[in-house]
């Protein structure tokens, strides 16, 4: 492999979820260039894959913001720093370069990136759906069977069967009842595990005839032609079956998460999370940081806003590694502005300050 085929940068961010995207901004404000690697084909992590049209209520300054809209804002915020994205890539290898000055990362597609700093923002690791054990399931996946809802309007006037009893199943049943021709919810118990307010709304819609509750049943078989679903067969605990008309199936049985190769890199682990110094988010490996849900320390709160703060701490700590011997003079963004962005407010403040006696 020639050196020209190796990407050189200041930092590599592993994970393009909301915390990883904010890390781009924080690294950029510290004048550090970065490449971003994510196993998914689009940035946004779970916000994009699981709830792009569901509201988030605990992001500062936004009383309510949709998951997809949050990702759009974070991408816009990161854009001035021109990050290089490697989407659909999984990091397989992490090793020191021969001069022990940088990390060399290799993806499963053969892409090689070298940087003195690595920021792991991989959430709970690579994730994928827990698939129900149904014969012929694969031929319907992507056309009639979906594990995530990217756009609610894609289910307009469809006959939808939702399987599961947790928050995702109940929340999407409530949402799709507004646009679908019919919604049936299949669960092996009569009791649902979702938020009490949501469960109350679910039962109210069922009583009004807008949702059909199919309990206690579980998925048994699928009917259809080629890759087009026509019905879902469910069975009760005694084996008696029932046929539900359906052209869309949404099985919500949770996610299977896995740190994958990250777990083999010699990082300190605690319950499948990476142990970090809470002051800097540094791991036990020099120049490697972990932020967001993948990071662990006493008192950690798994919130997006916590990850945002960790991104700032990691970026400031990373500067001394990427720029050894240079001091990072901390200044607020109201003073520095954002490189590449018109900073009218900053300029007007500076002019105002200059005119004061």
Residues 6 or more apart whose Cβ sits within 8 Å of residue 292: 15, 17, 19, 20, 121, 122, 123, 307, 310, 311
Please check whether residues 240 and 264 belong to one and the same domain. no
Beta bridge partners of 65: 56
Residues 6 or more apart whose Cβ sits within 8 Å of residue 245: 159, 182, 230, 231
**Residue 32 token pair:** 């550090």
* Domain assignment present for 322: yes
Strands 228-236 and 241-245: antiparallel
Contact of 290 with 277, CB cutoff 8 Å: no
Ordered DSSP codes for 152-167: GGGGTT-EEEEE-SSH
Looking at residue 328, its pLDDT comes to: 85
Strands 182-186 and 212-214: parallel
Please check whether residues 137 and 121 belong to one and the same domain. no
Please check whether residues 139 and 242 belong to one and the same domain. yes
Select the more confidently predicted residue: 334 or 171.
Answer: 171
d(CA 290, CA 120): 5
Final residue of a structural domain among 253, 285, 318? 253
d(CA 318, CA 289): 8
Please check whether residues 228 and 292 belong to one and the same domain. no
Compute CA 325 distance to the chain's CA centroid, rounded to the nearest angstrom: 35
Q: Which CATH number characterizes residue 194's domain?
A: 3.50.50.60
* Domain assignment present for 198: yes
| Model confidence pLDDT, tens digit, residues 163-201 | 999 988 999 999 999 999 999 999 999 999 998 999 999
Alpha-helical segments (H) within the chain: 18-29, 45-49, 67-78, 167-176, 196-207, 304-322, 333-336, 344-355
| Model confidence pLDDT, tens digit, residues 318-329 | 999 999 989 888
Residues 6 or more apart whose Cβ sits within 8 Å of residue 324: none
In residues, how long is the chain? 357
* Domain assignment present for 289: yes
Q: For residue 240, which phi and psi values (nearest 5 degrees)?
A: -70, 135
Looking at residue 350, its pLDDT comes to: 40
Looking at residue 334, its pLDDT comes to: 83
Please check whether residues 135 and 195 belong to one and the same domain. yes
Please check whether residues 260 and 122 belong to one and the same domain. yes
Please check whether residues 238 and 280 belong to one and the same domain. no
Total domain count, the chain? 2
* Domain assignment present for 357: no
Please check whether residues 143 and 70 belong to one and the same domain. no
Select the more confidently predicted residue: 319 or 339.
Answer: 319
Residue 171 belongs to domain spanning: 131-253
Instruction: HSE, CB side, 13 Å, CA atoms: give it for residue 261.
Output: 14
**3-state SS, residue 257:** strand
Q: Above pLDDT 90, what percent of the chain?
A: 73
d(CA 286, CA 336): 29
| Model confidence pLDDT, tens digit, residues 243-293 | 999 999 999 987 766 677 898 999 999 988 999 999 999 999 999 999 999
* Domain assignment present for 61: yes
Please check whether residues 148 and 242 belong to one and the same domain. yes
- pLDDT category, 343, cuts 50, 70, 90? low
**Residue 58 token pair:** 């605990």
- pLDDT category, 296, cuts 50, 70, 90? very high
Of 81-95, 304-318, 326-340, least confident by mean pLDDT is 326-340
Please check whether residues 117 and 162 belong to one and the same domain. no
* Domain assignment present for 351: no
Select the more confidently predicted residue: 24 or 330.
Answer: 24
**Residue 168 token pair:** 């995702």
Final residue of a structural domain among 197, 220, 253? 253
Looking at residue 347, its pLDDT comes to: 46
Please check whether residues 123 and 263 belong to one and the same domain. yes
Please check whether residues 153 and 235 belong to one and the same domain. yes
Q: For residue 199, which phi and psi values (nearest 5 degrees)?
A: -65, -40
Q: Above pLDDT 70, what percent of the chain?
A: 92
Asked if pLDDT for residue 355 goes beyond 50, the answer is: no
Nearest to 155 by CA among 224, 43, 53: 53
* Domain assignment present for 32: yes
Final residue of a structural domain among 253, 275, 297? 253
Stretch 38-60: mean pLDDT: 85
Looking at residue 272, its pLDDT comes to: 85
Q: For residue 19, which phi and psi values (nearest 5 degrees)?
A: -70, -40
* Domain assignment present for 104: yes
Select the more confidently predicted residue: 347 or 312.
Answer: 312
Asked if pLDDT for residue 210 goes beyond 70, the answer is: yes
């Amino acid at each position: 492999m020639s050196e020209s085929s190796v990407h050189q940068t200041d930092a590599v961010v592993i994970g393009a979820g909301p915390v990883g995207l904010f890390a781009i901004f924080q690294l950029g404000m510290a004048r550090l260039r970065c490449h971003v690697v994510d196993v998914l084909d689009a940035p946004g992590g779970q916000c994009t894959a699981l709830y792009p049209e569901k509201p988030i209520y605990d992001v500062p300054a936004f009383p309510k913001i949709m998951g997809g809209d949050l990702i759009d804002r974070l991408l816009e915020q990161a854009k001035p720093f021109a990050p290089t994205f490697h989407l659909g890539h999984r990091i397989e290898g992490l090793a020191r370069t021969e001069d022990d000055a940088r990390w060399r990362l290799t993806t499963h597609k053969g892409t090689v990136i070298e940087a003195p700093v690595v920021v792991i923002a991989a959430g709970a690791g690579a994730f994928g759906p827990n698939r129900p054990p149904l014969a012929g399931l694969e031929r319907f996946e992507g056309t009639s069977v979906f594990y995530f809802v990217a756009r609610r309007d894609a289910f307009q006037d469809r006959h939808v069967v939702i399987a599961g009893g947790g928050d995702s199943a109940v929340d999407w049943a409530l949402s799709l009842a507004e646009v679908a021709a019919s919604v049936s919810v299949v669960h092996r118990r009569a009791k649902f595990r979702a938020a009490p307010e949501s469960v109350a709304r679910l039962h109210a819609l069922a009583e009004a005839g807008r949702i059909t509750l199919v309990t206690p049943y579980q998925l048994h078989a699928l009917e259809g032609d080629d890759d087009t679903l026509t019905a879902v067969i469910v069975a009760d605990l005694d084996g008696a079956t029932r046929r539900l008309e359906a052209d869309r199936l949404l099985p919500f049985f949770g996610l299977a998460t896995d740190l994958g190769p990250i777990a083999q890199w010699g990082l300190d682990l605690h319950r499948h999370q990476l142990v970090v110094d809470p002051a800097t988010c540094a791991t036990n490996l020099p120049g490697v940081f972990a932020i967001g849900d993948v990071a662990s320390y006493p008192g950690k709160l798994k919130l997006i806003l916590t990850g945002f703060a960790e991104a700032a701490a990691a970026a400031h700590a990373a500067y001394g590694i990427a720029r050894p011997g240079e001091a990072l003079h901390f200044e607020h963004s109201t003073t520095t502005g954002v490189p590449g962005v018109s900073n009218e407010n900053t300029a007007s403040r500076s002019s105002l300050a200059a005119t004061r006696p």
